[in-house]
Structures are given as C-alpha cells and as structure tokens.
Amino acid sequence: MKRLVSSILFFSFVVIGFSSCGSEPQDKSEGTKAADTTAAKAPEIILNWKIGVQTWTFRMFTFEEALKKVDSAGVKNIEAFWGQTLFKGSKASFGPGMSPADRAKVKELLQSHGIQIVAMGVIAPSNRAEWIKAFDLAKEFGLSYITAEPLKTQWDMVDSLAGQYGIKIAIHDHPKPNAYSSPDSVLAAVKGHPNIGACADVGHWSRNGLNPVDCLKQLEGHIYGVHLKDIVKFNDTNAADTAVTKGVIDFPAIFQELKRQNFSGMFSIEQESNWYHSVPDVINTVKFFNEQLAKLKQ
C-alpha cells in the first residue's frame, strides 16, 4: 500500500478521490465465480497458510463491492483497507468511526459471503487513544493481527496493548525513506516486544533493492503476514506494480523459505495495478499460489 493511513483523524486526505470511485463501471465478467481455479484445498490446510486479499487491491470500489470481488475470486479471507468507503452513497469508511448500524451491516455482508477479516491496515495511530480504538475494532471483528507502522516512541505502549488484546502488530515495510524500509529497522522494534512482528511486503523490499528471501531469513520467527505483490523492476522505489508472476520476484523461492521457517499465517494479495479490472489477475494469483503449495507438500 503506497499511502499510509495514519489515523482516523485524517482519513479525509487519505481517501480523497476514493469515496466516489464506487461509481466507476465494473467489468461484468468479474462477477463470475471461479471455484474451479481458486479452491484452496489440501495445501492450505497442511501448511496452515491462508490466501487472502488486501482490499486496497479494490480501493477504487466500496467495501461492499470489494467483498463481492473477493468472493468472485474464490477467496474467503481479507486484510481490510482502513479508510475504504463502505457503501455507495455513504460517507462512512472502514475504521473506528463506523456507527453501530454500519458495523452490523459490515458483519452481515461478511457472513453472506462467508468471508472473514483476518487483519486490517496499514495504520499508524498518533496516540494511545487512537490505538485503543483500533484494537477495540480489531477485537470486535475477531482479527489476528493489525498491519501497522507505529512510531518508535510507541513500541512499548503498542506491544503492551497487543498483549492485553491478544492481537499482534505486524510492522509493514514501505519503500525508502520509510522508517521500516529494511528488516533491520523492523527487528529493532521487535526486540523486547513479543507482540510485535512483521508484515513481509515482498514487493516493497524488491523496490528497496533487497532480496526478499534474505529479508525473510532475517525476520525468521517474527513474520505474522505477507503482502503478495509483484513489480516490474528491481531496486527502483518507483517501480510499477504488476500481477504476480508477471514481474521480477522469485515467488517459488519465497514460498520455499517460508515453508522452511514453518510460517503460519496469511498471504494477502495486494495488487496495485489494473485497478478497475483486476479480478482475473487475483484469480490467477490464487491459482498460482495453490499450485506452488501443492508442489511444496510433495
């Protein structure tokens, strides 16, 4: 995710231009079910890996529309984009500011699609009160972790809250000059903080000129989730995003390394290209993911 949502207090400038995007025409073909190509069967269970979608992938649409697209791709887990407009004609967005009625409707939509929110982010609340609101929301929706980029001065406080709520914090790595652009900076936050770990964004590491497999090795034992994306050029912070397997990243090596580490968590597909018609790309990514897992179990 290229723009960090810092807190609910300034959603307004993060989601400018997004609230009206739900009115964009949708590709009718994207609503077709793809169970035959995306069914996550034995490999996911054996390795205890989940495939999900970071709904930032569908940021041009409402949360309600995004769920339909996720469902049409045969995926049942999401990392919710904090700040995504909930429904057409509504100014409400996903986050602590949701009204009781909006929360109830979101839960109803999730249940109707058989989808669960495993994580949400990327966030960076500015103070303790905002962090508590985030944890309260995560608890209400049964999240496993929150993808975030906390301030260095917040590490102790955030780790303590994460322990109290039983919800982990996965630090995300945006490209340079972000404070967490390298595994070293994430490890600094992890040290002495058992409830803080990493969200491994393999695309951003590659943009930073870092080998994703080497980064995964550095963070072994601390990885809570993965952002699954591909880019067209290595060592370029402005490298364009592309569909998984269409770029420069060696995904089989990444999967092999995470298997070696006994990683247990979710791979969130986060595609930042082909914004209005990306469902086929997501379907192909899920298919590739399952094919790779099938090979790993052999």
Task: Establish how many alpha carbons lie within 13 A of residue 215's alpha carbon, considering only the half-sphere containing its beta carbon.
Answer: 27
Give 29's DSSP letter. Answer: G
pLDDT of residue 124: 97
Could you tell me the pTM of the whole model? 0.86
| Domain annotation covers residue 110 | yes
* CA max distance for the chain: 50
| Domain annotation covers residue 1 | no
pLDDT of residue 148: 98
pLDDT of residue 16: 38
Map 68-129 to HEC letters: HHHHHCCCCEEEEECCCECCCCCCCECCCCCCHHHHHHHHHHHHHHCCEEEEEEEECCCCHH
| Domain annotation covers residue 144 | yes
Q: Domain range for residue 175? A: 8-18+26-296
Profile the chain (298 residues) by mean pLDDT over runs of 10 residues: 44 38 43 44 64 98 98 98 97 98 98 98 98 98 98 98 98 95 97 98 97 98 98 97 97 98 97 97 98 91
| Domain annotation covers residue 3 | no
| Domain annotation covers residue 180 | yes
| CATH number assigned to the domain comprising residue 44 | 3.20.20.150
Task: Establish how many alpha carbons lie within 13 A of residue 183's alpha carbon, considering only the half-sphere containing its beta carbon.
Answer: 20
**What's the total number of domains in the chain?**
1
